[in-house]
Amino acid sequence: MEFPPGTFEARFLRRPNRYLTFCEAPDGTELRCFCPDPGRLTEFVTPGRRVLVAPAPADAEGRRTTHTQVAFHHGGEWVSILTAKANVLAREASQRGLLPELPPSEGWRAEVRHGESRLDFLAGETLVEVKSVTLVVEGEARFPDAPTLRGARHVRGLAAHARDGGRAMLLFVQQREAGRLVRANAATDPDFAAALRDAAGAGVALAAVACRVDAGGVVPVRRVPVAVDR
């Protein structure tokens, strides 16, 4: 997945709310940026940090930000914060042979209604929900970095589907390469951690892919295990 045209490096200044950051362009201009990741991002929001930003689309009428922030530089690597692109990366992971359990992504149906939720894909006979991961703690990727009632509800829906005899997968897309495995962030969201344990016990397939990120974009490169704490 390529970053938007015109993406360039800047410096992070501040984040007054979840969806807004201010960054400094190389010429010193202050840029008002949309932040596409509403998580806490605590480990990233340090003034002076290197970031990647992209100009807002020319046809974005009524938009109050001039740019979109697409990545932070942290721990010697770029970390993509384009959470809405996790589904695009899931399809790319399939195309690269990283999800052999699923049929080719060309046949996946997106935005599938299941009970009271809308899940990301129906891949053949498998319901698939995708979660974007950016946080790494002590060498492990952790999800979520902020409590997510919606995320726990989705995972419980997968578990119920599996108990009824259906096929289901929870797929974590790690939008950075660091992180030897993915684990629920129980300290931040014990409810999600409990939902993950329940899903694993119900037979939901757990999968994760790590991505390499550079100034040009994001590429899924390898599978990593998902650890479930009992």
What's the confidence (pLDDT) of residue 116?
78
Q: What average pLDDT does the segment 192-217 reach?
A: 98
Q: Are residues 111 and 214 both part of a single domain?
A: yes
The model's pTM is 0.95
Mean pLDDT of 116-128: 94
Residue for token pair 């100009």: 55
Instruction: Give the CATH number of the domain where residue 38 resides.
Output: 2.40.50.580
Distance CA 62, CA 56 (A): 11
Half-sphere exposure of 94 (CA within 13 A, CB side): 19
Looking at the chain, which runs of residues are DSSP E strands? 8-17, 20-24, 30-34, 50-55, 67-74, 77-80, 109-114, 117-123, 126-133, 135-137, 140-143, 167-174, 182-184, 205-214, 217-223, 226-227
Alpha-carbon distance of 93 to 97, in angstroms, equals: 6
Angle of helix 190-202 relative to helix 149-163, nearest 10 degrees, comes to: 10
Tell me whether strands 30-34 and 67-74 are parallel, antiparallel or unpaired: parallel
* pLDDT score for 115: 80
- What is the rounded CA–CA span in Å between residue 161 and residue 155? 10
Q: Where residue 2 falls among pLDDT bands split at 50, 70, 90?
A: very high
Give residue 124's domain range. Answer: 83-227
Question: Is 2 contained in some domain?
Answer: no
| DSSP-assigned beta bridge partners for residue 205 | 169
Asked if 14 and 56 sit in the same domain, the reply is yes
Residue 116 maps to a domain: yes
Domain count of the chain?
Answer: 2
**CATH code: domain of residue 99:** 3.40.1350.60
Euclidean distance between the first and the last CA atom of the chain, given in angstroms as a whole number? 35
Q: Which two tokens stand for residue 16?
A: 């007054």
Q: Under the phi-then-psi rule, with left for phi > 0, alpha for psi from -120 to 50, and beta for the rest, what region is 106?
A: alpha
Cα–Cα distance measured from residue 103 to residue 54, given in angstroms and rounded to the nearest whole number:
34
pLDDT band at 111 (very low <50, low <70, confident <90, very high): very high
What are the C-alpha distances in Å from 79 to residues 6, 43, 112, 126, 165?
Answer: 18, 11, 29, 29, 37
Is 220 within the bounds of a domain?
yes
Tell me what the pLDDT averaged over the chain comes to. 96
